[in-house]
Chains A and B, each alone.
Chain A
Amino acid sequence: MISFLRRIGNRVLFRLEGLGRATIMWGLAMATLPRKGDMTLLFRQIYSIGVMSIAIIVLSAFAIGAVISLQFYTQLSRFGAEDAVGAGLALVLLRELGPVVTGLLFAGRAGSAITAEIGLMKTTEQLSIMEMMGVDPLRRIVAPRLWGGIISMPLLTAIFNVVGIYGGVVVGVYWLGADAGGFWSGMQDAVDVREDIVKGMLKAAIFAVVVTWIAVFQGYDCEPTAEGMGRATTRTVVTSSVLILALDFFLTLSMYGDF
């Protein structure tokens, strides 16, 4: 009984310790002042995090927009409410699916890469060598990745939304033959800049913080072995995906919940 309690206590303390280390690392990395030459590091990260994710974002956004439009159209046309397809599509994408799906893809595409990269640096002791040389790995390795993610994610989400809406237009208007005028005016009537676009972008930024934080910390804190790196990469994808979905519920509740 006592040993059982002790195990639970140990587990809790272990988790708390991890959370504390992660918070300290994040705080230190975000607080480091940028120096000359850091912009190049940041650009490099935006390139590998953001630019390289465009292809997967565009492909999935088009497919998702198309399928939403298809579903909405077939259901709504039974009530003669095809004009609501545009509004439904835009709201679903801007408020929920845009940030969430971008976040999930981002975790899978960029988060795993960040963890693996940093994990390998740790395994091959590049991080400790940097420290020995007097280079702060938080400033040189961690901070650019955090900032790169926070800058890239909202931009990727915006691209996702636009491509998704285009996919919806292709299926709904060009293929199924919903009226283009009703489609766009219904959308423009329903969508509000602050209520839908800005809040969606805010969600994307919050997800970016979560994913990059988890990815960097898992890499930084991984066991310096081959299996440890594998486990850390898996943990990054699993933890950030679950957190994105859970957080999205609470963010939606606080942003759009009527109370």
Chain B
Amino acid sequence: MRMRTLEISVGAFVLAGMLAVLFLVIQVSGVNMNTSETSYVVSARFDDVAGLRPRAKVSMAGVTLGRVKSIEVDTDYGEAIVRIEIDGEPGSLTTDTSAKVLTEGILGARYIGLLPGSDDTKLKDGGEITETQGAIVLENLIGQFLTTLGKD
């Protein structure tokens, strides 16, 4: 009998631990099962991504559509190649969609904002967004401001 209560309490402990892990995975990290099922990848080239990170949000009209999958640099052209994972089936974005690197708030994280175009053709899996605008870097802005000041 003593042995039995011991085994029951050990079993309950292990179960509680497992449930805790499950809770952490589902509720705390918020794994979304259906995002991983269908998604497609498009790429975009930016002249400057300034602090954009993998897993950053990609949104249109403030609604998250996907995430940044990877960021590489093309040293020949000095451009960043950003691969974006968009949720759902291909066909939700037009080929002339434009992408901008934006900032959440003043000090917030960088994210990519998409603006829809008017083309009839849609972006396929592996397609490329050509209309892009890189991040606004404060130093460049100040530099431009100073040169315009100098012209007067």
Q: Given A155-B17, A162-B24, A197-B25, A47 and B9 touching (CB < 8 A)? A: yes
Q: Chain B contacts of A54 at CB under 8 A?
A: 13, 16
* Dominant SS among interface residues on chain A: helix
Are B55 and A192 in contact, CB atoms less than 8 angstroms apart? Answer: yes
Q: Which residues of B contact A151 (CB under 8 A)?
A: 14
At the interface, yes or no: A188 with Cβ under 8 Å from chain B? yes
Of A12-20, A38-46, A106-114, A229-237, which binds chain B? A38-46
Q: CB distance B3 to A188 under 8 Å?
A: no
Given contacts A43-B10, A46-B10, is CB(A156)–CB(B24) below 8 Å?
no
Q: Is B31 an interface residue (CB 8 A)?
A: yes
Give complex CA distance A189, B29 in Å.
7
Residue count of chain A within 8 Å CB distance of chain B: 31
Whether A159 contacts B10 in the complex (CB less than 8 A), given A94-B24, A165-B28, A188-B30, comes out as no
- Measured in the bound complex, the distance between the Cα atoms of B29 and A151 in whole Å is 23
Q: Decide if A216 is an interface residue (CB 8 Å cutoff).
A: no
Cα A47 to Cα B17 in complex, Å, equals 13
Count residues of chain B with CB under 8 A from any CB of chain A. Answer: 22
- Enumerate the 4 nearest inter-chain pairs by beta-carbon distance, A residue then B residue, closest first: A155-B17, A188-B30, A158-B20, A191-B29
- Asked whether any CB of chain A lies closer than 8 Å to the CB of B60, the reply is no
- Give the residue of B7, B21, B55 whose beta carbon is less than 8 angstroms from that of A158: B21
Check if A46 sits within 8 Å of B13, measured CB to CB. yes
B20, A51: Cβ atoms closer than 8 Å? no
CB distance B24 to A161 under 8 Å?
yes
Chain A residues near B30 (CB-CB < 8 A): 184-185, 187-189, 191
Q: List 29 A-B contacts (CB under 8 A).
A: A43-B6, A44-B6, A46-B14, A47-B6, A47-B10, A50-B13, A51-B9, A51-B10, A51-B12, A90-B28, A94-B24, A152-B13, A155-B14, A155-B17, A156-B17, A159-B20, A162-B23, A184-B30, A185-B30, A187-B28, A187-B30, A188-B28, A188-B30, A189-B30, A192-B29, A193-B25, A193-B29, A197-B29, A201-B21
A46 to chain B, nearest CB (A): 5
The B interface, classified by DSSP as helix, strand, loop or mixed, is helix
Neighbouring A residues of B25 by C-beta, 8 Å? 193, 197
How far is it, in angstroms, between the C-alpha of A156 and the C-alpha of B13 when the chains are bound? Answer: 9
Decide if A154 is an interface residue (CB 8 Å cutoff). Answer: yes
Instruction: State whether the Cβ of A82 lies closer than 8 Å to any Cβ in chain B.
Output: no
CB-CB under 8 A from B10, the residues of chain A are 43, 46-47, 50-51
The answer to whether A159 touches B24 (Cβ under 8 A) is: no
In whole angstroms, how far apart are the Cα atoms of A54 and B17 in the complex? 10
Which chain A residues border B24 with CB–CB below 8 Å? 94, 158, 161-162, 197
Closest residue of chain B to A90, judged by CB? B28
Question: Contacts of B14 on A, CB cut-off 8 Å?
Answer: 46, 151, 155
B17 to A158, Cβ gap below 8 A? Answer: yes
- In chain B, what residue has the closest Cβ to A160? B20
Determine the distance from Cα of A193 to Cα of B14 in the docked complex, in whole angstroms.
20
Interface residues of A in 233-248 (CB under 8 A from B): none
